[in-house]
Structure 1
Amino acid sequence: MKVKPIGLVNSPYKIKKGSPHQGRFSDEISTITIFEEYEEALDGIENYSYLKVIYWMDRADSVTLKVVPHGKTDKRGVFSTRAPVRPNPLGLCMVELIKIDGNVLTVRWLDALDESPVLDIKPFVQELDCP
């Protein structure tokens, strides 16, 4: 399997401590810089208010199969949580698109640490993404 980043996050969260457990709990602004070779893939993204950002949690701790979720007391399997200590530390975050300037997206609610590699961006489509 080969995964290649398409861009990088510029975030106010430099270290894990103090970063939100979920991006929706913070109104902090971040940017995503898409690498020049992928810039044309942004065509049409301005038609969406919300995006789903898939990024690599490159500073996640080692894999743990059972965790106690934030705010809970019971231990459960990591696949039933949003904990970052996963076999493949993929982050998935819905963000609000604020502005586009060339290859730079300005967004709200992104919980990724600064310089996290972005793997993909998909538009949030309510008819498809909500049961």
Structure 2
Amino acid sequence: MSGPDFGPRPGEIAIELPATPDAGLHFIGRLRTPWTRRADCPRNSRESDAPCTVEIDAPFRPALEGLAGTSHLWLLYWMDHAPRNLVVQVPRSYGVGRGTFALRSPARPNPIAMSAVRLLGMTDSTLTVAGLDCLDGTPLLDIKPYFASTDDFPEAIVGWHREHKRPDGT
């Protein structure tokens, strides 16, 4: 389901999606953030240090065992308000169409988002984290520990972004 803030922009291409999905998911909780409108959300998770709460549903709470002492996590979540039919998008700050798979936009065939977050605290049913970029109430898909030894690739390059100049020339 996409909301009114998520309609196609000029130059974007939308497709007809298959009538039935290929797989099912189980949401394991909800993300509580300060943002209720898309316009207020940070553009990416590195733009916010706001403390947010990860609420874990009761059946999944035992899966938190062993997280104490962990500094960073990967959170995977379902951008439930994002459109799912865009295959070419025109990012606001770039003004040039790009294929959805070349972007980090929430609008995707399967609107799965991920953020590397700092774990600030935890209880038996919640985590307090910093580094989210989603609307309040966003469904949580999974939690994974962040391993600096395997999750960090400082040499990583996104070709179009490296060579990009914004419409204003910067």
Question: Percent of aligned pairs with the same residue?
Answer: 35
Report the equivalent of 2:87: 65
CA distance in 2: counterparts of 1:99 and 1:66, whole angstroms = 39
- 1:56: how far off? 0.4
Relative to the length of structure 2, the TM-score reads: 0.73
Structure with the higher strand share, 1 or 2: 1
CA distance in 2: counterparts of 1:27 and 1:70, whole angstroms = 23
- 1:47: how far off? 2.8
* Unmatched tracts of structure 2, length 5 or more: 1-22, 154-170
SS state at 1:45 partner: coil
SS state at 1:17 partner: helix
Report the equivalent of 1:3: 25
Q: In structure 2, which of residues 114, 134, 150 is the aligned counterpart of residue 112 of structure 1? A: 134
The answer to whether structure 1 residue 51 and structure 2 residue 38 are counterparts is no
Give the RMSD, CA atoms, in angstroms.
1.2
Larger radius of gyration: 2
Which structure ranks higher in relative contact order (CA pairs < 8 Å, sequence separation ≥ 6)?
A: 1
Q: In structure 1, which of residues 2, 6, 13 is the aligned counterpart of residue 35 of structure 2? A: 13
The answer to whether structure 1 residue 86 and structure 2 residue 108 are counterparts is yes
Aligned residues: 131
Relative to the length of structure 1, the TM-score reads: 0.94
Q: In structure 2, which of residues 59, 63, 68 is the aligned counterpart of residue 37 of structure 1? A: 59
* Unmatched tracts of structure 1, length 5 or more: none
The runs of 4+ residues in structure 1 deviating greater than 6 Å are none
